[in-house]
Chain A
Amino acid sequence: MTEPIFAERHPKDTLIRTERLPHIWCPGCGLGEVIGAYGQAVEHSGLPPERHAVVSGIGCTGRAAGYIALDSYHTTHGRAIAFATGLKLANQDLVVTVISGDGDLSTIGGNHLIHAARRNIDINVIMVNNFNYGMTGGQFGATTPHGAITATSKYGNVEYPFKIPELMAAAGASYVARWTSLHVQQMEESIEKMMEHQGFSLVEIISPCPTRFGRKNKYRTGISMMKYYEKNSVKSDGIALELTYADVLKDNSLPVGEFVVDSKPSYLMNKHKVEEAQHL
């Protein structure tokens, strides 16, 4: 029988503020995978840690910045992208990554999300989508599936959700991918691609929230949601983006993959071009 291995430290500890553990997230939450994949991508980027910065907004995912041992900023609700835009333009050597939730980024922060995509500003966004506002107790937001039961839609959500890949493509994002928290390897590869990509790039990570969303909507545990991802995820690169509705209430296919890869010039590339033309 193999001897169990006990490690004093996790291999990713250098990128984690271990003194802050235990974290605040619930059992069954997908955020651990996301933080792990981001850390892996930072290591693989070949850049020293001080060249990376993390910006978060408010919410469960908003706490990500507080656990990552890089220059990290926990900002106001919805404004992480606007903050990150300033940070990137002020220090253009930085690889600036926003890690925040669907409610923070697409509901209260929706205006900044679409305009950052439109500008093709050189920042990366990891949007962790758990279909609800977890931290405040599980209310519906702009990504909640139609009909879902939440703390403020007790008879079913009467609204329709954003399809994030479709929204981002329409707004002008130049790299858009979606994975679930089950796709650890793929999400890490997409995050690495974002870090190399020039322009606005976004990876949506569909993530379980058994505590707030799942238990009201057929998924009592994190694992039941993961099993749904395993059964229903379909790699759909190049799919018509109106088909990217992540309706986890139905036994539908859940499209994942790379939806947009566009090499059009980024905000900074365009800006530098104009400045060079002026011989400035």
Chain B
Amino acid sequence: MAISLVSLRDRVKSGNHFITGDHAVAEGAIAAGCNFFAGYPITPATPIAERISWRFPQIGGEYIQMEDEIASAAAIVGASSGGAKAMTATSGPGISLMLENIGLGYMMEVPIVLVNVMRGGPSTGMPTLTSQGDIMQARWGSHGDFNMIAYCPSTVQEMFDFTIKAFNAAETYRTPVMVLADQILGLMTANITIPEPDDIEIRNRVLASGPIEDYNTYNWDELIPPMAIAGQGYAVHMTGLTHDEHGYPDANVDAQAKLMKRLKAKFDTHLDDIVEYDEIMLEDAEIALIAYGSESRSAFAAVKRARAKGIKVGLLRMKTVWPFPEKLIHDLSTRVNSIIVPEVNMGQYVHPVREYADCPVHSLPHYGGEIHHPDVIVQKIEEVMQ
């Protein structure tokens, strides 16, 4: 069976489900219209591939198990070029292998979704234990200057919800998008609600239309050019080389500047649409925690415990970690006395926070394997108070 549209009812399993975060990612992808998955088994992301390989034959999607993660990333860029909504799921070592083709997707402006269920690193690290060590890799991993949209779920429900958001962002901005989950969320089982299909917002890429002779692969009158997919008849040319509006290689200073500027502007001019966060008990806060992912659950517990002790502390929970919310962080820093960034790495997100904050910023790092105990965060808050 070729990729086909089947009824929404078959795709979207509306109702309550007691499932793992990885399975919620798979259901979120299917609900978003994903119909191509290429992947390679890796702990702790494998259950996503297993679920997809079981579900896709029911709904007319193509699951292929590639020979490695390099091939998986190349295959999803290819599939999306052919009109599929394509994704892969992996963990840190897999992302390391995918980085070059993530750059290809960025340069060609092909929508793809990559789920990273983070585990302890570097290298093989701790396959079965958690980490948030790939935050900077997501933003800066592929070579050259590129931009990334990255969602950070903190619950099993958000594993479902944010996977849909990731597809919507990828399709809207014609760019690779990541879901930065972690081992705790991937393997945690919880109750989630899958909404009715009509209640799920789905965005699809704008397809090329109009006379073939008027079409350019990249119409630079538009910030996000309509996309011609293979088979439509537009004879597109796409390349990872610096290119002009026809998609033809054009290696010179001006062409590079023009292309880089437009690609960056896709993000800069849509920050309000992309960036998502929760402000929790920040109204009167003197200290702000900034946290994301599973660690933000511990941070929230710490805020409540500290509040019980009479400490005015709040939490900025980033649902998207990239693009970086420069203005949001700066504004927050003018309202509080200090900021603490607890994270399950040796201090990554704390660096851009320091760059944009006008108040003292403290790092609360963790070598990995578990999230901080709330009491450890409370202790840090008390230290900073003094």
Contacts and interface: CB of A to CB of B under 8 A. Distances in A.
Contact of B83 (A75, A84, A91): A91
B334 interface: no
A50 B232 CA distance: 7
B64 to A, nearest CB: 6
Contacts of B231: 50-51, 53, 71, 91, 93-94
B248 interface: yes
Contacts of B35: 90
A89 B74 contact: no
B79 A87 contact: yes
Interface in A54-104: 55, 65-66, 69-76, 78-79, 82-94
A82 B236 contact: no
A280 interface: yes
A249 B228 CA distance: 47
B233 A76 contact: no
Given A66-B249, A74-B241, A275-B1, A87 B230 contact: yes
A152 interface: no
Interface residues on A, range: 35 or more
Interface stretch (B15-23, B65-73, B255-263, B352-360): B65-73
A112 interface: yes
Contact of A90 (B1, B79, B228, B234): B79
Contacts of B75: 82-83, 85-86, 89
Interface in A19-70: 20, 48-51, 53, 55, 65-66, 69-70
Interface string B46-64: 0000000000011000101
Contact of B71 (A53, A115, A280): A115
A161 B286 CA distance: 68
Nearest to A85: B75
B81 A87 contact: yes
Contact of A89 (B36, B58, B237): B36
A90 B240 contact: no
B381 interface: no
Interface residues on B, range: 35 or more
A270 interface: no
B217 to A, nearest CB: 10
B86 A86 contact: yes
A172 to B, nearest CB: 13
B182 to A, nearest CB: 27
Nearest to B67: A115
Contact of B1 (A74, A87, A272): A272
A79 B101 CA distance: 9
B213 to A, nearest CB: 12
A79 B70 contact: yes
B230 A53 contact: yes
Given A83-B74, A89-B3, A274-B57, 15 more contacts: A49-B233, A55-B78, A71-B232, A75-B77, A76-B240, A82-B72, A82-B75, A83-B77, A83-B78, A86-B81, A87-B81, A89-B36, A89-B62, A112-B74, A275-B57
24 contacts: A20-B248, A50-B235, A51-B231, A70-B235, A71-B236, A73-B78, A73-B238, A76-B101, A82-B70, A82-B71, A83-B75, A83-B81, A86-B78, A86-B84, A86-B86, A87-B230, A89-B62, A89-B64, A89-B82, A90-B62, A90-B80, A91-B82, A112-B70, A275-B57
Interface of B: 1-3, 35-36, 38, 57-58, 62, 64, 66-68, 70-72, 74-84, 86, 100-101, 104, 108, 228-241, 248-249
